[in-house]
Amino acid sequence: MEEALCVDGACSGNPGPMEYRGVHLPSGKEVFRFGPITGTNNIGEFLAIVHALALMEQKGVSMPIYSDSVSGQAWVRNMKAKTTLERNEQTAQALDLVARAEKWLRTHTFRVPILKWNTTEWGEIPADFGRK
């Protein structure tokens, strides 16, 4: 297995309790985990990718990031989360994290490949929460 980090988000409901994590592909070791807080699945997927990018920059390492989320990857490419989640007392923390992640993307340069996990051929991404 190649040296890579797999990320995934999970949410029960929309919105609902949301969390995300990153898993080192060769070892299967969980590298980071956040949540649950009230959010959406797409927000969790987006934040997981940005968390992985920021962590790698902080640690001075570089490896591909795999995500099974087309939306999360597009939001990172566009440096803008296209969420329609309404701000209220329960969702404020997630939306504040989205704003922080968008700012991080605009103010940092990264050259880490963000790749689509091929679930059909490879099975569930190792960071999956197993709630399907």
pLDDT at 119: 95
pLDDT at 71: 97
- pLDDT in single tens digits along all 132 residues of the chain: 589 999 999 999 989 999 999 999 999 999 999 999 999 999 999 999 999 999 999 999 999 999 999 999 999 999 999 999 999 999 999 999 999 999 999 999 988 999 999 999 999 999 999 875
Amino acid at 54: A
Sequence ranges of the domains in the chain: 5-122
pLDDT at 2: 85
CA distances from 20 to 1, 8, 107, 111, 121 (A): 22, 6, 23, 22, 23
- Residue 55's contacts (CB-CB under 8 Å, 6 or more residues apart) are 22, 31, 32
Half-sphere exposure of 101 (CA within 13 A, CB side): 27
- Residue 78's contacts (CB-CB under 8 Å, 6 or more residues apart) are none
Does the domain at 5-122 match CATH 3.40.50.800? Answer given as no
Half-sphere exposure of 28 (CA within 13 A, CB side): 1
